Structure 1
Amino acid sequence: MDTNRIQIFDTTLRDGEQVPGCKLDTDQKLVIARQLELLGVDVIEAGFPISSPGDFKSVMAITRAVSEPVVCALSRAVKKDIERAGEALQYAKRPRIHTGIGTSESHIRYKLRTTPEDIIERAKGAVRLAKSFVEDVEFYAEDAGRTDNEFLARVIQAAVDAGATVLNIPDTTGYCLPDEYGAKIAYLRDNVRGIEKCTLSTHCHNDLGLATANSIAGVRNGARQIECTINGIGERAGNTSLEEVVMIMRQHAHLGLDTNINSKLLLETSHLVSESMGMVVQPNKAIVGDNAFAHSSGIHQDGVIKRRDTYEIIDPAEVGVDESRIVLTARSGRAALAYRFKNLGHNVTKVQLDDLYQEFLRVADQKKEVEDKDLETLISAMVA
């Protein structure tokens, strides 16, 4: 694998679907899975087969529907989970079982009610059992973000020795700061024997709004897979946003990192997931929000009209957006008004523009946004 290539592991259909009210049926999942394949994701986490007959059916259907991405099924470090995942993946061209267990003191003491030594043994056993079904086994250390690094390295060492091919280091609760998370990845890279034969993976949640930053910190410190979702959907405050990490790496070329994602399909994919799940994308969402390439301030509008990159670091076409939007509000200036009139086929003089601008402000103070029909009314009144 290219050491500068970051694998994109999409968990929209597993972690993303855990959002209350976002349940998908099998047909909807198949449509999204095929779109993810077109988008260029490397791994599709298709579901959690033991969780329900419907999820088992969906995972199996997805294995038949796509051919390029790895199809991954989640399990706990429990025998029946792993067996069910293996069964669901039996027709996959490139199957992966994703198994693991909690490693933080909180999880060990209060959730699992066991000992650190038992966690290590269960981790080994889960990976070994998963390897009897598939060659590609990903191990996750749940709540790794709050796990002591020395103990985490012992657990990861056990997973490596048992044959894991991918090592997922989740910031399950979204607790870490970017420098802390990056240092955790670096510590494992430097302290686990044989880790260079495996792919280190990030899986960051957004409870403190740091999921994207932590994922980037992870790949800058040696991780080569990012686990993420379309629109950043997921448990609680969501997961790392696929579109954000992809475009960060593309815009910061000096990092020397990139993905196989066809970024021109990002907006289309965002809309598909939003509509399928009934989960509205906030207008100010980076990359795919309605306002991501919209400008309403007169100062910004003047700059963008003269040269787009004065206020836009991404060409909208790169992510599938037709063009930037100049939104007319009471904060807009004459340059934006003249620009919109010109787009409507009216080349107004400077004197006319001065008069029209005063009338425009009167309308703008009454409305959130001045529309084309309002401008036509203004120009008609002047001609009359």
Structure 2
Amino acid sequence: MLNGARQVECAINGLGERAGNAALEEVVMAMRTRDDHFGGLTTGIQTAELARTSRLVSRLTGYPVQYNKAVVGRNAFAHESGIHQHGVLEDRNTYEIIDAREVGQEAAQIVLGKHSGRHAFAETLATMGLRVQGDALNQAFTRFKELADRKVQITDADLEAIVAEELGTSEVHRFTMVSLDVRGGTISTPTADVVLRDGDTNVEATGTGNGMIDAAVDAIATATGYVGKVLDFNVSSVTSGGDALGDVVIQLEVGGTKASGRGVATDVVEASARAYLNAVNRIVRIQSRGQERDHEIGP
């Protein structure tokens, strides 16, 4: 083109015989973005329609657009890396030479994943109206990183569930879960091994039960010494898909003191264990403050 070519053979999404053609959207945006290099060459193409046209062609031809496809790919304007997210939050021009809206894409997205940093995590919570600071933020970020290692994409519902759990549990953390291993089947007795942190000491215990949840609860009760009666147990899914989060709420009574605990995890057994431990920590707080017996608080 710089040497006088009057025509460029290209196609939307780079479709064509054999290895395809030059991608129309990439050629157009290169000329538009680097106008200084191309000497003012223009095409007259409405760039705001590029993304929509790309999706239309993909749907009609049956050829999916790669997520990492330049300009029109789903991840073209998404940032997961911690350093990238921090840079974009400070100044979008740091990593974006093209404004996503110029090509009909949604504004650049901060995608929370295992590579995300604390800055992006806190900023995302703030945009959702969740103001979390101090120890509660640190604890929520730790839970987020644990979840991100197991879940491909973190949704708003995931974040809300994590924050709801941490805001409810940040008051007392005498016991924290280090690890939980549960095994069993149709023949063997369900067994759970748990390691809890109590101050500066690790406490290990093994429990058994009628099922994996029962075994996990028995192990935690043994480790903490708080063996109680589960008055109510409720489990629900807070997100969709095969890697959905399970939200468990348990009402526990120990020695006449009642408390409710919440646990959130992709595995319902782990969520149940966290809920029981959450309730135990609340009972510890109630009893340590010398409150009256039979006092009850909600999740």
Q: What TM-score do the two structures reach when normalised by structure 1?
A: 0.42
Secondary structure of 1:369's aligned partner: coil
Greater strand share, structure number: 2
Determine the C-alpha separation between the residues in 1 that align with 2:107 and 2:134.
27
| Deviation of the 1:354 alpha carbon | 1.6
**Corresponding position: 1:225 with 2:7:** yes
Determine the C-alpha separation between the residues in 2 that align with 1:252 and 1:380.
47
**Corresponding position: 1:297 with 2:88:** no
Specify the alignment match of 2:103 in structure 1.
319
CA contact (8 A) 2:71 2:103 kept: yes
| Deviation of the 1:383 alpha carbon | 2.2
| Deviation of the 1:227 alpha carbon | 1.6
1:1-384 alignment runs, 5 A limit: 219-254=1-36, 255-256=38-39, 257-384=41-168
| Deviation of the 1:325 alpha carbon | 1.1
| Deviation of the 1:351 alpha carbon | 3.4
Q: What TM-score do the two structures reach when normalised by structure 2?
A: 0.54
Match of 2:30, as an amino acid?
I
Unaligned runs of 5+ in 2: 169-299
| Deviation of the 1:357 alpha carbon | 1.0
Greater helix share, structure number: 1
Determine the C-alpha separation between the residues in 1 that align with 2:149 and 2:133.
24
Determine the C-alpha separation between the residues in 1 that align with 2:139 and 2:146.
11
| Deviation of the 1:221 alpha carbon | 1.4
Residues 333-359 of structure 1, C-alpha deviations (whole Å, 9 max, x = no match): 011111211121112224332221111
Determine the C-alpha separation between the residues in 1 that align with 2:26 and 2:64.
17
Residues 43-97 of structure 1, C-alpha deviations (whole Å, 9 max, x = no match): xxxxxxxxxxxxxxxxxxxxxxxxxxxxxxxxxxxxxxxxxxxxxxxxxxxxxxx
CA RMSD for the aligned pairs? 1.1
Q: Kindly tell me: are residues 350 and 319 of structure 1, through their superposed partners in 2, closer, same or farther at Cα, counting changes over 3 Å?
A: farther
Residues 222-259 of structure 1, C-alpha deviations (whole Å, 9 max, x = no match): 10211211100111121011000000011111122221
CA contact (8 A) 2:80 2:111 kept: yes
Residues 188-238 of structure 1, C-alpha deviations (whole Å, 9 max, x = no match): xxxxxxxxxxxxxxxxxxxxxxxxxxxxxxx11110211211100111121
Determine the C-alpha separation between the residues in 2 that align with 1:350 and 1:326.
22
Secondary structure of 2:138's aligned partner: helix
Which protein has the larger Cα radius of gyration, Structure 1 or Structure 2? 2
Runs of 4+ in structure 1 deviating by more than 6 angstroms, as ranges, are none
Determine the C-alpha separation between the residues in 2 that align with 1:229 and 1:273.
10
Secondary structure of 1:328's aligned partner: coil
Secondary structure of 1:370's aligned partner: coil
| Alignment coverage as a number of residue pairs | 166
Secondary structure of 1:226's aligned partner: coil
Determine the C-alpha separation between the residues in 2 that align with 1:306 and 1:242.
31
Match of 1:290, as an amino acid?
R
Match of 2:14, as an amino acid?
G
Match of 2:165, as an amino acid?
A
Determine the C-alpha separation between the residues in 1 that align with 2:108 and 2:64.
21
Residues 274-330 of structure 1, C-alpha deviations (whole Å, 9 max, x = no match): 111111001111100001001110000011111111111100010001211111111
Determine the C-alpha separation between the residues in 1 that align with 2:67 and 2:166.
35
Determine the C-alpha separation between the residues in 2 that align with 1:351 and 1:382.
9
Match of 1:283, as an amino acid?
Y
Match of 1:348, as an amino acid?
V
Secondary structure of 1:361's aligned partner: helix
Identical counterparts, % of pairs: 50
Unaligned runs of 5+ in 1: 1-218
CA contact (8 A) 2:136 2:167 kept: no
Determine the C-alpha separation between the residues in 2 that align with 1:240 and 1:350.
51
Match of 1:284, as an amino acid?
N
